[in-house]
Every structure is written in C-alpha cells, then in structure tokens.
C-alpha cells in the first residue's frame, strides 16, 4: 500500500500551479539538477556524429546519429510537465504527450524520486511504453512526493496493493 515517506530534496523543479479543484500541475527539469553532465553529453554526441560521418563518408548519417542521441535523452535535456486530475495523469515533454486514465491503471510502483503508473498488470519489457512515470517535485512545492502519493491513493482505490519500494 502507498504510505507517506520523507520527500527527497535536491530535485530541480519549476512549480507551475496547484489548483485546489482537484488538479495538480508541476514541471521537472533534470538537467538543472545535474548540469555538470552537459560537457560529457556534448562530447559524446559530437564524437558519435563524427565517427558515423567518417564511417559513412557523409555528414547526413552523422547528423541523424546526433539527432537520435539527443532525442533519446530529451527527458533529461528539456523540462517535463506533469498534470494529475480526477480523470487521470498527463505527461508532456518535447515531442511527447501521454495520458493515462485512472480506470486504466493496473499497477503502481513507487520509488524514492518517482512513481510509475502503468496499464500492464505484470512487469515486463513494455513497461516503458505503456506507463507514465511521474517524477516528484521538491518537498513543499506542487508535485512533491506527499501530494502526488495522496492523489494516487485517492484515485487508485481499485488496486489491491500498491508497491512502495522507497520506504
């Protein structure tokens, strides 16, 4: 069962709004939390692009490789926005918009910095494609651990036991 636990600090979060009419909205930008990784990421992307360009003797495959690498870490590079309502949860990032209704949630896994809601009953390789991961905000701001877990507890009564791996 979900249980309240101490919130973890250190998250880079831009709180957007808390609307008292059963709507919780916040934004998390992971790059702000670990901005020291920017040079390493830039070097990796540039080296991969250069190597692919040299391998194929054309800049087009190199640019495609660079684009694919940047796209694969877009949740880290760009802010992600989360919305929780009475109807379900929503996730927005660059090029991505996902929604999951509460009635479709079959499993919930809580970790120290996030909660994952999925429509799959059992764990499997498709979890990343069928669920939404909500990253918690800094304690005391909209979207913090306690607020998100309270929303989940209130709307996921149909689940028998909710796992909380963070306690």
Q: Are residues 66 and 105 in the same domain?
A: no
Closest C-alpha among 87, 74, 84, 90 to residue 29: 74
Residue 97: which CATH number? 2.30.29
d(CA 65, CA 51) in angstroms, rounded, equals: 10
Which tens digit of pLDDT belongs to each residue from 37-50?
A: 889 999 999 999 99
109 within a domain of the structure (yes/no): yes
Q: Is residue 7 in a domain?
A: no
Q: What is the DSSP string of 56-117?
A: HTSHHHHHHHHHHHHHHTHHHHS-EEEEEESSEEEEEETTEEEEEEGGG--EEEE-SSEEEE
| 49 and 117 fall within a common domain | no
Domain of 49, in residue numbers: 35-73
Q: How far is CA 117 from the centre of its chain?
A: 11
Residue 5 lies in a domain: no
Q: How many domains does the chain have?
A: 2
Q: Give the tens place of pLDDT for each residue, 34-90.
A: 888 889 999 999 999 999 999 999 999 999 999 999 999 998 999 999 999 989 999
CA gap 49, 47 in Å, rounded: 5
149 shares a domain with 88: yes
For residues 54 and 82, membership in a common domain is answered with no
């Amino acid at each position: 069962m979900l249980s309240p636990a101490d919130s973890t600090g250190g998250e880079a979060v831009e709180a957007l709004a808390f609307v008292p009419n059963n709507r919780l909205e916040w934004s998390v930008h992971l790059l702000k939390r670990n901005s020291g990784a920017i040079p390493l990421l830039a070097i990796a992307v540039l080296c991969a692009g250069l190597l692919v360009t040299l391998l194929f003797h054309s800049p087009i495959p190199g640019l495609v490789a660079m684009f694919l690498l940047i796209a694969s870490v877009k949740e880290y590079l760009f802010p992600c926005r989360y919305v929780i309502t009475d109807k379900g949860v929503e996730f927005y990032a660059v090029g991505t918009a996902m929604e999951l209704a509460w009635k479709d949630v079959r499993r919930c896994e809580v970790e120290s910095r996030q909660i994952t809601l999925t429509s799959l009953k059992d764990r499997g390789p498709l979890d990343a494609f069928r669920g939404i991961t909500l990253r918690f905000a800094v304690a005391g701001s909209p979207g913090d651990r306690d607020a998100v877990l309270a929303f989940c507890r209130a709307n996921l009564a149909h689940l028998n036991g909710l796992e909380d791996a963070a306690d």
